[in-house]
Structure 1
Amino acid sequence: MYCSCTMAEHFHLNTPLLESVNMSKRVGTTVYLKMENSQPSGSFKVRGIGHLCQQLARQSKGVVCASGGNAGLAAAYVAKKMGVSATIVVPSSSPRLVVQRLQDQGATVKITGKVWDDANTEAHRLAETEGLTYVPPFDHPLLWQGHATMISEAADSLGPGVKPGAVLVSVGGGGLLCGVIQGLKDVGWKDVPIIAMETVGADCFNAAVKAGRIITLDDITSEAKCLGAKTVCKKAFEYSQSSDLTIISELVTDQHALHAMETFLDEERVLVEMACGAALAAIYSGLIQRLQDEGRLPSCLGPLLVIVCGGSSINMEQLANLKHKIRP
């Protein structure tokens, strides 16, 4: 099957930019939420993957993607819309919920290895042996171009003359971070600080920043499995070393990310996964105030833009499982 869609077609939505009264009270400045959880595939990933597939997979016999959940769901969604087959390779740590949702999108699911890196090796093998188009989940310029559109949308929503005091973003392999930076450059906001959030145990970016070189983690020990790349992409690390950008790399515990998920559900009536909870925890854990106290953010802070990256590997049963694991 071959794609019959037009080149102008987009697979992502222009998502809402919502003001959070509760979060704004906590940090003493206006907090805007870019609601990427409302994308058709459940996360921001459909922006970049949709853009990449439009460019690389229009005449493909099928796509293959390694994913802990969200990239695979985006690839499966886009492939279905384009009329090509999708094979998604997931690690054994992926929730059954994700596997079922992938199958519901018509994808062939293959479970390989313990972590994403193992699944990615198999995805590359399948691309080579079966002639499939490999869809990277985070490390490709076309992905970053697609993700950058969320920043231009936010700029349009905020209107002229309104610039964020900082952007809060979760970091896994670094694709979203690279897209946000690209977007900030596109709209003339390169001077806006980025607060790059990870959980302890899924912190390949923070480890690289501290070491001054790219680090491969021994294992992923965090329950935020969708942050679970053991090595950050090269471009994200290069950005962290750039004197033209302000990237503040911070860690929170799984407990903080879980608390952020629960508070966000309670106050904003939205359920997101732990990977997203890492960014939200910057507000709920008092980290923003600490950064202000340390002089790393100004005491008089402009509005915060929080990328609610979403995630489909969560439901109430999975939330209960996380509570049991993290708070036994």
Structure 2
Amino acid sequence: MTLTTSLPTDAPLSAYVPPYSRTASTPGSPTGTATPLPVDYINSGVHPDYLRLILTARCYDILKQSPLNYAVNLSNRTQNKILLKREDLQDVFSFKIRGAYNKLAHLSDEEKSRGVIACSAGNHAQGVALAAKTLGIKATIVMPTPTPEIKSRNVLRLGSRVILHGKDFDEAKAECQRLTELENYTNIPPFDDPYVIAGQGTIAAEILRQHNLQDVDAIFCCVGGGGLIAGIAAYVKRVAPHIKIVGCETFDANAMTQSLSQGKRVELKEVGLFADGAAVKVVGEETFRLCQSFVDEMVELTNDEICAAIKDIFEDTRSIVEPAGAMAVAGCKKYLREHNLTNKTCVAVTSGANMNFERLRFVAERALLGEQKEALLSVVIPEQPGAFLKLYKHIHPLMVTEFSYRYAPGRRAQIYMSFLCQDRRREVPVIMSNLSKEDMQAWDISEDEMAKSHARYMIGGRSAAENERMFRFEFPERPGALLQFLEGLRAGWNVSLFHYRNHGSDMGKVLAGLQVPQEDNEEFAKYLAQLNYHWVEETENPLYKQFFC
């Protein structure tokens, strides 16, 4: 999607920035409780002077300039110069401290004495907590009851009071608003406030100091409520208007993309929560007006593309960022690829690193899919001896990462498999065409969410396979090891169940059901002895008897 402004680059700021009321918003309004700006921070009496607000922001009372790192591996792969603005290295592992501190630092003495309150289960909460602790302000943070304990603990550690209320964010927000009015607290909005926006905009000022601004072609930012991209865009388009500003959202949390497309703020009925740091149903009023004028384009992303970007960042920095923190890199990669661009200089803001540890398994599972380097196939093969091996040979020497099969009576067998490749879009159609010539039907299910999340773990079940024996095998995870295992099986020993999954370890693990006639038991024992792989027979395992036979 392309969204370009029709204004010339030499237009005055007043032509870009829409009016903004100096009057504090009423409680419950989308903009929260915006502190009135001093007269000399208002351009022509109608809108904030963001250039001045950013240049005079108070952020540096508490933080240092974050690094702008050259991403060597990512740059080489994309044939562009990719720079990472490392906001994940802030004390609260997120850019949010900038806007939160700038907002609190500009409160009046009377507002500070009353205390502040914020509703957040994520990075905004920690930003407000640290800012309040530094400034000696009493802070209350309202979080939904299901908030992970690690997040509430971090806020408590920073000295704020934590109130757990409601089953979701909307109920917590309502309680936050109730307490604001009851206790006369100052509510600190997460994004829709000039001081918050200006605080985030200091990132842009740093970028243009750290790198020759004439050499920068584009800056990529993740978008939730819009505070980060609005602040960066407001500064960049005033100082270096040739630089493209590109926002990055997920397909299932694309409030800004839809709003810019329709020319009005759109409220989503629900949002995807994988990139929870950017999962916002409706963008801010002021952030939307700024983005309408300053943001050039938006890129929409899948969860798999974000996982691939987390891996990219790790390989260049040895740091693990959260999903929202990787969205700018994911968007940068996608934009460069879709526009076939090379030799460009792009900055991606790695906005946060508050990753839940439990999500790492999902990220590892999906990263290769996101960069088109793993393929998932559903294959139907003839249920006859040798067909299983013939299928595998059509994939070899590509590395198989998962193989799931269970014998079923009939003439056709269902197989689930995944394997590594260099370019899924190019290689998979060739493999599928070759399989069709062998009386095998294959479907590419790499983009099927049900297959990726559920079906791959449900292949199998009970079977009436006669003379079945169940084994666990371990073998070195090296090229050809799986092929050696399969080629060693005699033609009469039918594979009735097979599951293999590469987990990135040194050893490959296989669960295999083999139909071995009793008269072949002695020869089969010799095969096992010569295999030189560790194996354990599980035929008498109660779990096998309960679920598989």
* TM interval, short-chain normalised: 0.7 to 0.9
On the 8 A contact 1:143/1:175 being kept in 2, the answer is yes
Seen in structure 2, the aligned counterparts of structure 1 residues 87 and 321 have a Cα distance that, compared at 3 Å, is: farther
Unaligned runs of 5+ in 2: 1-57, 367-448, 454-549
Change (3 A) 1:23 1:8: closer
Q: 1:8 to 1:200 in 2, by over 3 A?
A: closer
Shift of the alpha carbon at 1:238?
2.1
- Which has the bigger relative contact order, CA under 8 A and spacing at least 6? 1
1:12-91 to 2 correspondences below 5 Å? 12-56=63-107, 58=109, 59-91=112-144
Which whole-Å CA distance do the structure 1 matches of 2:316 and 2:337 have between them?
20
1:113 offset after TM fit, Å?
3.9
Distance 1:9 1:222 in 2: 32
Change (3 A) 1:172 1:322: same
Q: Aligned pair in 2 of structure 1 residues 163, 65: CA closer, same or farther (>3 Å)? A: farther
What's the CA shift string for 1:75-117, capped at 9, x where partnerless?
Answer: 0011111122221122356433212211211222223345544
CA distance in 2 between counterparts of 1:301 and 1:238 reads 32
1:214 counterpart = 2:262: no
Q: Which residue matches 2:247?
A: 196
**1:201–1:132 distance in 2 versus 1, CA, 3 Å:** same
Q: CA RMSD in A?
A: 2.4
Report the alpha carbon displacement of residue 218 of structure 1 after superposing the two structures with TM: 0.7
CA contact (8 A) 1:172 1:227 kept: yes
Classify the secondary structure of the residue corresponding to 2:61.
coil
Deviations 1:28-68 (CA, angstroms, capped at 9, x unpaired) = 22111110111111111111111110001653332111113
Compared with structure 1, are the counterparts of its residues 11 and 262 closer, same or farther at alpha carbon in structure 2 (3 Å cutoff)? same
Q: TM-score, normalization: structure 2? A: 0.53
Q: Which amino acid aligns with 2:292?
A: Q
SS of equivalent residue, structure 1 residue 102: helix
Paired letter, 1:153:
E
User: Structure 1 residues 74 and 57 mapped into 2: Cα distance closer, same or farther (>3 Å)?
Assistant: farther
Give the counterpart letter for 1:320 in structure 2: R
Instruction: Determine which structure has the larger strand proportion and give its number.
Output: 2
Partner residue, 1:296:
none
Answer whether contact 2:225 2:282 (CA < 8 A) is retained.
Answer: yes
Q: Which runs of 5+ in 1 are unaligned?
A: 1-6, 294-298
The count of aligned residue pairs is 310
Aligned twin of 2:370: none
Which position in structure 1 is the counterpart of 2:235? Answer: 183
Matches within 5 A, 1:248-327: 248-284=297-333, 286-290=334-338, 292-293=339-340, 299=341, 302-312=344-354, 314-320=355-361
**1:111 pairs with one of 164, 176, 180:** 164
Structure 1 residue 151 and structure 2 residue 204: aligned? yes
Cα deviation for residue 131 of structure 1 reads 1.8
CA distance in 1, matches of 2:232, 2:80: 21
Distance 1:115 1:203 in 2: 20
> CA distance change for structure 1 residues 199 and 41 in 2, over 3 Å: closer, same or farther?
same
Identify the residue that residue 226 of structure 2 maps to in structure 1: 174
| Deviation readout 1:186-222 (Å, 9 max, x if unpaired) | 5x11231111001122211112123222111111223
In structure 1, the residue matched to 2:187 is: 134
Moved more, 56-65 or 208-217: 56-65
Contact 1:26–1:283 (Cα < 8 Å) also in 2: no
* Alignment match, 2:279: 228
Change (3 A) 1:115 1:213: farther
Partner SS for 1:87:
strand
Q: From the CA coordinates, give the structure whose radius of gyration is larger.
A: 2
Report the CA distance between 1:143 and its aligned residue: 0.8
Query: Is 1:120 paired with 2:168?
Result: no
Identity %: 27
Q: Is the 8 A contact 2:81 2:344 kept in 1?
A: yes
Runs of 4+ deviating beyond 4 Å:
321-327
Aligned to 1:214, the other structure's residue is in SS state coil
* Alpha carbons 2:226, 2:287 under 8 Å: kept: yes
Return the alpha-carbon distance in structure 2 between the equivalents of residues 288 and 204 of structure 1.
Answer: 23
Greater shift in the superposed pair: 106-115 or 217-226? 106-115
Separation (CA, whole Å) in 2 of partners of 1:31 and 1:9: 26
